[in-house]
Amino acid sequence: MARHGAVLGALVLLAAVLTSCGGREQACGEALPTPERMVPEVVRTLPHATDAFTQGLLVRDGKIYESTGLDGRSSLRVLDLQTGAEQRRAALPGNLFGEGLAEGPGGTLVQLTWKNRTALVWDRATLEQTGRHRYRGEGWGITTLPSGNFVMSNGTDRLTYRAPRTFAAVRTTTVRRKGGPTDQLNELEFSRAAGRDVVWANRWQSNEILRIDLECGVVTGVVDASELAADAKKLAGAGVPPNVLNGIAALPGTDRFLVTGKLWSAYYEVRFRRA
């Protein structure tokens, strides 16, 4: 009887899996959706340090946490959300090239490195390094899901889900888009949009920010941030020329985001609206 019960349980589980898969296929479909075209609507600007080669951006508790890159110049910075003024800074070892930044378990910060295959774990209050994780390949962008899992990019069209405490790869998904590329996925930020879990992704060497539906792995929206890039260039004047758009952080409890770029002189607080 126990054997029959085990078989019945297995059949019930199989049916549940098939039903779940069928529901997902029905929800996602085979045909790719046409991405919504969006532009950023600027609410306000904040000063941004022109020596900050921005790689990762995070907003928590009224503070901006920023990861910067470049060999021998990489750092983790804490800034005031209202003024943009720097409050604290920790330098990375000279051999590490800083990349994406996300919130880890217990309020820690997890900072990727580019080709060093190392993620640094920081105490958010003290900016003391408390641990490290190892991973394969390159590290570009990273964000945290409500489950605690991370989603990480490596400069391709693939996103890797990782366990919060071990950083072990859980699964990988390839991002698809109708009418455009999805390679060069860089800085990432999680949010909810229209009741669905999405990740916003900068595409390196472009002024695009992609809205990626996580359930289906498809691009449902594309933000054209060309006007922000043009404004950053105008603000720089004869000063340090701005590099590419990179850096996006959701402002908790609002519909707004903080956006900037490498060596830009401003953060832009924006809403994304239909073009």
DSSP-assigned letters across all residues of 125-143: TT--EEEEEE-SS----EE
Q: pLDDT of 119-144, one tens digit each?
A: 999 999 999 999 999 999 999 999 99
Quickly name the fold that domain 53-226 has: Methylamine Dehydrogenase; Chain H (2.130.10)
- For the record, the structure tokens of 185 come out as 């996925």
Q: Which helix (H) or strand (E) holds 31?
A: none
Q: For a pLDDT cut of 90, what percent of the chain falls above it?
A: 85
Task: Show me where the domains of the chain are located.
Answer: 53-226
Q: What is the mean pLDDT of residues 244-273?
A: 97
Whether 217 shows a pLDDT value over 60: the answer reads: yes
Q: What is the mean pLDDT of residues 193-220?
A: 95
What is the reported pTM?
A: 0.89
Q: How far apart are CA 190 and CA 210, in angstroms?
A: 12
